[in-house]
């Protein structure tokens, strides 16, 4: 009988060690997946930081476009993480599903705000192009009425998209798939909102959007790339977010108006304004297409998720 008990204890001990080893292996795999996601996001920010040497001197259209291109990359990295740990949305806790749906809705709203700002810049370009045609037709006095600096469109409401950081806080010492999703959600939201703050400040020509949204992701940026958030903040506040290309257009408009006002030859100034308007048109249209593409992808993914959740409840 004693021998039987000893054999049973030995077997139970081996079984316990097996489960403990298996659990440790799973925890390590989950931790590695989460760290790989964070590393990918950090590398993206690092590229932004490396390209920001010129971008942070005067924010430019090309630089904020690079910022925007981070958004689908971060979203794709999160989707890859979900697949890597084999934890589809159908298994998530309700609070995490709600947080992801709120995040996607906020991102759609941000895309609409970006599109609205681009549309405003496009209309301003058309007005200046009309002024240029009046100059070419020698209607100089009428052209002067339209040769005005671009007035960026202010925001109609505050941009305070703050993720729920409570869902990202560990609730037990052992990492789980749910914990990985929650922590990744917090990181994704923080990074995306931080980047969008820079974007919107550049497009509307004021620091307010960045200052409102930096709280969402500034701490992540500072922990991964110390000084990047501070440099962005200093330059955006100092230059009030005005884009280099907008300033260059305004300077060209001022030069042409001055030439007309003093009766000097305006041919050279008109050519310069025409050249800058053509470049500006391509920038605005190209950026607009990228924004529309992201909007459609996010909307399609959100609708697919909602449809799936609806079918589960039936």
Tell whether 18 is covered by a domain: no
> Where residue 147 falls among pLDDT bands split at 50, 70, 90?
very high
- Note down the domain range covering 108: 23-50+57-157+176-309
**In angstroms, rounded to a whole number, what is the distance separating the alpha carbons of residues 199 and 213?**
11
Q: Report the candidate in 247, 252, 248, 217 with the shortest Cα–Cα distance to residue 232.
A: 217
Give the mean pLDDT of 105-113.
93
Residue 160 pLDDT: 56
CB count, 10 Å around CB of 249?
22
- The torsion angles phi and psi of 159, rounded to 5 degrees, stand at -105, 85
Tell whether 4 is covered by a domain: no
Q: Which residue has the tokens 């077997």?
A: 11
The full DSSP string for 136-162 is HTT-HHHHHHH-----PPPPSS-----
Tell whether 197 is covered by a domain: yes
- As a dihedral over the C-alpha atoms of residue 155, residue 73, residue 164, residue 203, rounded to 10 degrees, the angle is -10
**In angstroms, rounded to a whole number, what is the distance separating the alpha carbons of residues 293 and 297?**
6
pLDDT above 90 coverage of the chain, percent: 47
Tell whether 8 is covered by a domain: no
The two tokens of residue 161 are 């998209």
The predicted-structure confidence for 26-46, as pLDDT tens digits, reads as follows: 889 999 999 999 999 888 887
Residue 290 pLDDT: 96
Tell whether 233 is covered by a domain: yes
**In angstroms, rounded to a whole number, what is the distance separating the alpha carbons of residues 51 and 41?**
16
Which residue did the predictor score with more confidence, 241 or 138?
A: 138
Tell whether 5 is covered by a domain: no
Residue 19 pLDDT: 43
Which residue did the predictor score with more confidence, 18 or 133?
A: 133
Counted domains in the chain:
1
Residues 6+ apart with CB under 8 A from 66: 48, 51, 55
Distance (Å) of CA 2 to CA 7, 14, 151, 217: 9, 19, 90, 62
Per the CB < 8 A criterion, the answer to whether 210 and 218 are in contact is no
Q: Is the pTM of this model over 0.75?
A: yes
- The torsion angles phi and psi of 18, rounded to 5 degrees, stand at -65, -50
Residue 50 pLDDT: 56
Tell whether 229 is covered by a domain: yes
The angle, 0 to 180 degrees and rounded to 10, between the axes of the packed helices 94-136 and 267-313 is: 160
Whether pLDDT at 89 is above 50: yes
Distance (Å) of CA 274 to CA 62, 84, 255, 263: 20, 51, 12, 20
Per the CB < 8 A criterion, the answer to whether 235 and 57 are in contact is yes
The predicted-structure confidence for 257-267, as pLDDT tens digits, reads as follows: 999 988 888 88
Least confident of 56-65, 99-108, 168-177: 168-177
Whether pLDDT at 22 is above 60: no
Which residue did the predictor score with more confidence, 263 or 50?
A: 263
Q: Report the candidate in 254, 266, 288, 1 with the shortest Cα–Cα distance to residue 116.
A: 288
Residue 20 pLDDT: 44
Q: Which residue has the tokens 């709120």?
A: 102
């Amino acid at each position: 009988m004693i021998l039987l008990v000893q054999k049973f204890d030995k077997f139970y001990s081996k079984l316990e060690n097996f489960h403990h080893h298996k659990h440790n292996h799973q925890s390590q795999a989950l931790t590695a997946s989460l760290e790989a996601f964070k590393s990918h996001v950090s590398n993206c920010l690092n590229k932004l930081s490396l390209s920001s040497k010129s971008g942070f001197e005067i924010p430019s259209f090309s630089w904020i476009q690079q910022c925007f291109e981070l958004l689908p990359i971060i979203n794709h990295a999160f989707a890859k993480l979900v697949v890597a740990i084999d934890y589809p949305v159908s298994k998530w806790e309700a609070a995490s599903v709600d947080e992801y749906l709120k995040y996607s809705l906020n991102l759609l709203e941000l895309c609409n705000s970006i599109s609205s700002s681009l549309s405003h810049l496009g209309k301003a370009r058309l007005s200046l192009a009309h002024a240029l045609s009046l100059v070419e037709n020698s209607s100089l006095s009428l052209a002067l009425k339209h040769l005005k600096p671009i007035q960026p469109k202010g925001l109609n409401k505050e941009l305070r998209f703050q993720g729920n950081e409570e869902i990202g806080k560990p609730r037990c010492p052992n990492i789980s798939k749910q914990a990985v999703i929650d922590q990744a959600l917090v990181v994704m939201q923080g990074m995306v909102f931080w980047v969008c703050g820079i974007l919107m400040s550049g497009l509307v020509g004021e620091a307010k959007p960045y200052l409102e949204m930096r709280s969402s992701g500034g701490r992540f940026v500072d922990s991964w790339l110390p000084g990047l958030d501070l440099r962005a903040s200093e330059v955006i506040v100092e230059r009030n977010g005005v884009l280099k290309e907008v300033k260059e257009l305004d300077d060209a408009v001022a030069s042409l108006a001055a030439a007309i006002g003093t009766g000097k030859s305006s041919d050279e100034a008109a050519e310069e304004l025409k050249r800058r308007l053509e470049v500006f048109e391509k920038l605005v249209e190209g950026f607009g297409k990228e924004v529309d593409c992201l909007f459609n992808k996010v909307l399609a993914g959100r609708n697919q998720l909602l449809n799936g959740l609806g079918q589960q409840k039936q």
